[in-house]
Amino acid sequence: MSREFDAERFGTVPAFGTRDPEQDYIERPGAYVVLLRQDDLIAVVRTPQGVYLPGGGHQDGESPAQAATREVLEECGLAVELGDTIGLASEFLFSAEEGRHFAKRCTFFRGRALEIIAVPEAGHETHWCTLAEASTMLTPESHRWAVAMATKNASTLFESLGGAEGVLRLAEAWHQRVLEDAVVSHAFSHGFHPQHTERLAAYWSEAWGGPATYSERYGGESHVVRIHSGNGVHEEMDRRAIACFDQAMDTIGLTDPELRRALHDYFAWTTTTTMTAYPESPDHVPDGLRIPRWSWDGLQP
C-alpha cells in the first residue's frame, strides 16, 4: 500500500536517509519486528538487496500489527507474539529494483518468536544474532535505530541512571537545589528527616524499576502521599520543584535526551497528580496505595 508523500506529517518522527527535493516520493507504510527467541538472539532477514528486520509494507486495510505478523510468517515462517511498540521512524530511499523514490514510514515492534508454522518465501534467509551484531549488520539506518532503542528500553530507568548510586546522586542534587530555592525551600522550613535523600532515592528507585526497598523499609505510597497532603494548592511551588529537578539532572551531568525526558515526565507527573491529590487533609488519603511504576513510555499498569 503506497500513497503520495506528506512532508509535514513525516516531520514528526525520527528520519533517516536524505530526501532529494527534486524527486517525487511515494509514501509506503511498513511494520517491522525486533524479533527475539528464547535465547534472546534476534532475527535478521538476509535478501539480495540487504539485511533487514523481519517485516515489510502494509497491504490494504492492514494495521501495523497485522502487517508485522503476516510479514514475519512470510519471511521467516514463524508465528510471532508481538509486544509493545518501540517507535515510529521514517526513511528516504531509492529502490533500484522499482526505479522509484520512497518515503518509508515504519512502525517497529518488539516480538517473541513462537513455533515454525510455514515455509519462508524464496530469497529470504533468517539469521539469528545478538543485538550488538544486528546493529552492525542491518542495512537500513531506521532498522539499526530500532535495535538501539530496543536495547536501551530493555533497561529500566533505574538501571540506565546507574542503579542505586546514580539515583542517590540525583536525589542529593535535587535536594540541594530546592533548599536554595526561595519558594520550594519553604516545604522544608520546619525541618526534614536526617535520611531524607536516602529515603527519596529509595522511593524513586522503586518507581523507576529498582528494588522495593522503600516499601519494605519505610512505608508505602499512602505514607508518602500523606506527607505531601493537607497543604492546599501550591502550583508555583510545584512548577519550581520541577525546574529544580531539571537543574539537578544538569548538576549530575545527565545528558541522554531520552533518559532526561522520561525522568522529567515522571517528576512532573507525580508532582502535579499523586502528590497534589489531597490538598485539604492527609486524612483523606486512602490506605493501600501502590507506588506508581514509571518506564520509558510512561506510567506502567
Asked if residue 47 has pLDDT above 90, the reply is yes
Query: In whole angstroms, what is the distance from residue 102 CA to residue 100 CA?
Result: 6
Residue 5 has pLDDT above 70, yes or no: no
57 lies in the same domain as 189: no
Q: Which structural domain range is residue 75 located in?
A: 3-153
Largest CA distance in the chain: 73
Name 292's Cβ contacts closer than 8 Å, sequence gap at least 6. 207, 221, 270, 274, 299, 300
pLDDT of amino acid 153:
64
In this structure, how many other beta carbons lie within 10 angstroms of the beta carbon of residue 252?
16
Task: Please give the residue that has the higher pLDDT: either 40 or 179.
Answer: 179
8 band by pLDDT with thresholds 50, 70 and 90: very low
Residue 185 has pLDDT above 90, yes or no: no
Give the list of residues 6+ apart from residue 228 with CB closer than 8 angstroms, or none: 275, 276
Name the band, by pLDDT with cuts 50, 70 and 90, for residue 243: very high
- My answer on whether 19 and 128 are in the same domain is yes
Q: Which residue has the cell 508481538?
A: 82
More confident residue, 135 or 203: 203
Q: How much is the average pLDDT of 132-147?
A: 90
CATH number at residue 224: 1.10.490.10
Band of residue 122 on the pLDDT scale cut at 50, 70, 90: very high
3-class DSSP state of 84: strand
pLDDT at 205 over 90: yes
Q: Can you give the CATH number for the domain in which 33 is found?
A: 3.90.79.10
State the residue for C-alpha cell 520543584. 241
Q: Where are the alpha helices (DSSP H) in the chain?
A: 7-10, 64-76, 131-137, 141-153, 157-160, 163-180, 196-207, 213-217, 221-227, 235-251, 257-272
- What is the total count of domains within the chain? 2
Question: Do residues 260 and 141 share a domain?
Answer: no
**Euclidean distance between CA atoms 241 and 248, whole angstroms:** 10
Q: Are 102 and 123 in contact (CB under 8 A)?
A: no
Q: Give the model's confidence band at 97: pLDDT under 50 very low, under 70 low, under 90 confident, else very high.
A: confident
